[in-house]
Amino acid sequence: MITETVESIEEVTLTKPTLEDGKSMWKLVKETSLDQNSTYKYIMMSEFFSETCVIAKIRGKTVGFVTAFIPPEDPQVVFVWQVGVDPNERGKGIASKMLGELIERDNCQNVRYLEATVTPSNEASQSLFKGFARYYDTNCEVSERFPDQLFPSDDHESELNFRVGPLNHDRKSGNK
């Protein structure tokens, strides 16, 4: 378990994940309320989608990550699969900084929209994406994406689609 805390957001380094980061991403998910995927998923995301994934570290220890991809059917969208932040580091701007890093990367320069699905009860993620839209002075449209009937478990909520954009790439993520 990571017990260090961020004294300053400048302490956080943001990079593309490496294969070795897959394990630390999976371990971080176990400490959060995120849906648990296999370790293999995080290793694959680090290998095949490193250009659209972000890892946040403090002195070499993982404190956050974003897994995302650009759907082949819609290259103007980057779809954020998961955003994870160490519970001890929440509320310090790490998630927002990782999203800013993601959309400012060269491979996202043609991306006009950031999308993610969020359950109705996940107020923290809803706030993250709405705040991200405000920061980039753009829209955040919310619609149902995956109704609860699609899930095999009766306890899975519907997934709402948050569509942020169009994005203004002239506003750099580091200027908050």
Structure tokens at 89: 């580091």
State residue 143 phi and psi, 5-degree precision: -150, 160
Average pLDDT over the chain, rounded to whole? 89
What per-residue confidence (pLDDT) applies to 134? 95
Structure-model confidence comparison of residues 4 and 87, the more confident one = 87
Asked if the structure places residue 53 within a domain, the reply is yes
CATH number at residue 64: 3.40.630.30
What does the pLDDT look like over 117-166, one tens digit per residue?
998 988 999 999 999 999 999 999 999 998 888 888 777 888 899 999 99
Asked if the structure places residue 16 within a domain, the reply is yes
What per-residue confidence (pLDDT) applies to 78? 98
The residue segments making up the domain with residue 79 are 9-175
61-69/77-85 β-pairing: antiparallel
Asked if the structure places residue 92 within a domain, the reply is yes
Structure-model confidence comparison of residues 133 and 174, the more confident one = 133
Helix H or strand E encompassing 140: strand 139-146
Mean pLDDT in residue range 84-103? 93
Asked if the structure places residue 1 within a domain, the reply is no
First to last CA, the chain: 29
* pLDDT over 60 at 176, yes or no: no
Query: Contact at 8 Å (CB) between 119 and 157?
Result: yes
What per-residue confidence (pLDDT) applies to 2? 33
What per-residue confidence (pLDDT) applies to 56? 97
What does the pLDDT look like over 34-55, one tens digit per residue?
888 899 999 999 999 999 999 9
- State the sign of the Cα–Cα–Cα–Cα dihedral 103, 106, 108, 109: positive
Q: Which residue, among 64, 68, 59, 53, has the nearest Cα to 87 in the 3D structure?
A: 64
Q: How many domains does the chain have?
A: 1
What per-residue confidence (pLDDT) applies to 171? 60
Lookup result for tokens 């790490």: 94
Query: Contact at 8 Å (CB) between 32 and 14?
Result: no
3-state SS assignment for residue 68: strand
Asked if the structure places residue 3 within a domain, the reply is no
What per-residue confidence (pLDDT) applies to 70? 97
Asked if the structure places residue 2 within a domain, the reply is no
* pLDDT over 50 at 173, yes or no: no
Asked if the structure places residue 25 within a domain, the reply is yes
